Every structure is written in structure tokens, then in C-alpha cells.
Amino acid sequence: MDRIWRESPVAILAGLLGATLLCSCLAGLMIGYLPLSPAAAAEVLGDVLTGSDAGAAGAILALRLPRVLLAAGVGMGLALSGILMQAIFRNPMADPYIMGISSGASLGAACAVFLGIGSAFGAGSIGVGAFVGAAALSAVIVAAAGQVQRDVSYFLIFGIAIGAVCSGITGVLIYFGANSTGMDVTLYWLMGSIAAAKLPWVLTLLAVVAVMLGFFMTQTRILNLLLAGEETAIPLGRPLLPFVRLYLLLNALLVGCIVMNAGLIGFIGLLVPHFVRMLTGADHRRLVPVAVLIGGLAAVWADILGRVLVPGVDVPLGVMLALLGAPAFVVLLMRRAYRFGGAG
């Protein structure tokens, strides 16, 4: 089985996984508290595409389509972000939020509610506040750590320190706003819910993920050098710090778009890159496209499971992935044959 993943052409693997992801998204449109048969779903899709009145089934589809697309986009984006962070920091525990981006996003969301922006402009302002918080924190970290001009570990140190400050401020805001309805919405958003997905925002996220994937597919050699370490890259005449700064800023944009739409969702960015390295090896030319598609698959099916696990209850995607991801990560760590950064 390992030979199939390691020796098959990347285009074939990506094509098969892409087709599987598409079928999974179609399944996500049909499965739920009110299921749709394949024939009904196909008929409704046809009505939607032609602009005809699709009736009640069309209303169901209109609610599920943004959600399914958002789950796929979130999974793909977080898997890509996890690959970047693990390559940059050469740390098997690195995930999309390792630099404190989650703390900045939480602070931005809490500020949006505490300042009354959520009441004035609607629930979407919480996501916008989270995006601004994540982007601002990342810019501060890159600017501050860049002054040191040493190695990438300083980005991580600055991120942990500034993220701790943001977490403290967020805790104060939540404490003083405990009786606020908006703060309740913020806490639910922090659990990683995609139930309120809006199609225009989802399409924007998918576009960002597609552009980022296309760009980093051209950067796989640099990512391999980053994972190998500075001592390997310098003799080849490739100082890595400028690439690190660029990648961290792009990662902040990507993760900011994700948390703006879906809140804080964990484990995909940590688990999926490790799982795929176990199958394909550490070469980013294979790792990036395969992991991104598997990340999308994982999120789509976790969302489907969250909808049907308890009848009448919609388990947030972030909660569902935590319940599934934590045991899976423990099992992965117990596989002694797997080595981070290695081929097997």
C-alpha cells in the first residue's frame, strides 16, 4: 500500500482524491436531519442551476451547500497551513495556530462584541474582528522577530509571548461580558461552528485556498530545504529567513480567512500532515497536494458525522474534529515506524 502512495504519479493521486472529495461533498448535501435522496438532490441541483423554484428541498440544499463547501475549504486550508508551520519550525507539534494566531483571532472576536460592533453590524462582524486580530498579531510577530535576524525560533518565541498577552486580555473581556448575548455567540464561534456559513464568504475562502495552494506548489523545493534546516540551505546559497517571513504572512492571511468563516478548528492542521507523510514521505511535491485534499475530506466527513451523530443536535465541526482527532493523533504517535521529516 505504501508503494502506491509513494510511487504513483502525483497527478493520479490528486485526481482520485479530488474525485473522492467531490463525491463526499455531494454526500454532504444529501445527508442530514432531513435526508435527500440522490435523485432529489440531482433534481434540486438542476433547478438551482437553471434558476427554477426548487421548493422545500431547494431550501435545505441552500443551507447545506455553503456549509459543505466551507468544511472542504477549512480542511484544505488548515492542512496546507499545518504543512507550512511544521516545515518552517521543524517541529512535529506545530499547527496553524502555533504562533498565537488563535489568541489574536479570539481577541479580535471578543473586541468586536465588547465594543458593540457585533450588535451594530451583525454576527459576521465577529468573524471580521477575528480576521483583523489574527492578521495584526502575525504582522507584529513578523516585524518584531525580524529585527532579531537570527533564526526562525524567534518567531515562535515572540508568538507565544504576544499570544499569551492576547489570551489574558480576551479572558478579561469575556469575564466582564459574561452576561452579554454577543459574548455567548463568540464562545459558540470559538468552538468552531460552520452552521452559519454564507456562500459569498465561503467562495472567497475557497479562492484564497486555491491561490495559496497554487503558490506553495511552486515553493515545494524551499519547503523541503526548510524542513532540512538552515545548515542545509546556506551552502546551497539559499538564505531562508526572507522566505520564512513571506510564508508566515501568507499563512496569517490564510488562517485569518478560515477563522473569519469558521472560528477556531483544531487537529486537521496538526494531524493530517503527519498522516500523509506516513503514506507519501516528506517530499513536499507529493505531500502538499495529497494532504490538502485529505484535509478537505476529513473536514467534510467530520461535519456530516456531527450532523447525524445525535438526532436533532448539530455538533460544531471544531468539537467533532477534537473528539476524532485526539485519539487518532495518539495512535499515530504510537506507530514507531513513523519519523517526522523522514520518508517512512
CB neighbour list of residue 316: distance below 8 Å, 6 or more residues apart: 188, 191, 192, 193, 194, 195, 263, 306
Domain boundaries defined on the chain: 1-335
Q: Where is average pLDDT lowest: 142-156, 157-171, 188-202, 321-335?
A: 142-156
Mean pLDDT of 16-40: 87
- The predicted model scores a pTM of 0.88
Q: Which residue has the higher pLDDT, 260 or 291?
A: 291
Q: Under CATH, domain 1-335 is a member of which superfamily?
A: ABC transporter involved in vitamin B12 uptake, BtuC (1.10.3470.10)
pLDDT for res 123 = 54
Mean pLDDT calculated for residue range 156-179: 81
Q: What is the pLDDT of residues 96-113, one digit of tens each?
A: 888 888 888 888 888 887
pLDDT bin (cut points 50, 70, 90) of residue 341 is low
Work out the pLDDT band at 134, boundaries 50, 70, 90. confident
**Residues 121-129: what's their mean pLDDT?**
68
When pLDDT is cut at 50, 70 and 90, the band that residue 334 belongs to is: confident
| Average pLDDT taken over every residue of the chain | 82
Residue 131 has pLDDT above 80, yes or no: yes
For residue 47, what pLDDT is reported?
A: 66
Rounded mean pLDDT, 136-163: 76
Contact 276, 294 (CB under 8 A): yes
Q: What is the pLDDT of residues 168-203, one digit of tens each?
A: 888 888 777 655 655 666 677 778 889 888 888 899
pLDDT at 155 over 70: yes
Residue 1 has pLDDT above 70, yes or no: no
Question: How many CB atoms sit inside 10 A of residue 108's CB?
Answer: 26
As a whole number, mean pLDDT of residues 313-321 equals 90
pLDDT tens for 46-90 read 766 666 655 655 666 778 889 999 999 999 999 999 999 999 988
DSSP string, 54-121: -HHHHHHHHHHHHHHHHHHHHHHHHHHHHHHHHHHHT-TT--TTTTSHHHHHHHHHHHHHHTTHHHHH
Does 236 score more than 50 pLDDT?
no
Q: For residue 306, give Cα distances in angstroms to 41, 265, 319.
A: 20, 14, 9
Contact indicator for 296, 242 with CB cutoff of 8 Å: no
- Check residue 237 and give its pLDDT: 47
Lowest mean pLDDT among 121-135, 178-192, 203-217: 178-192
221 sits in which H/E element: helix 220-228
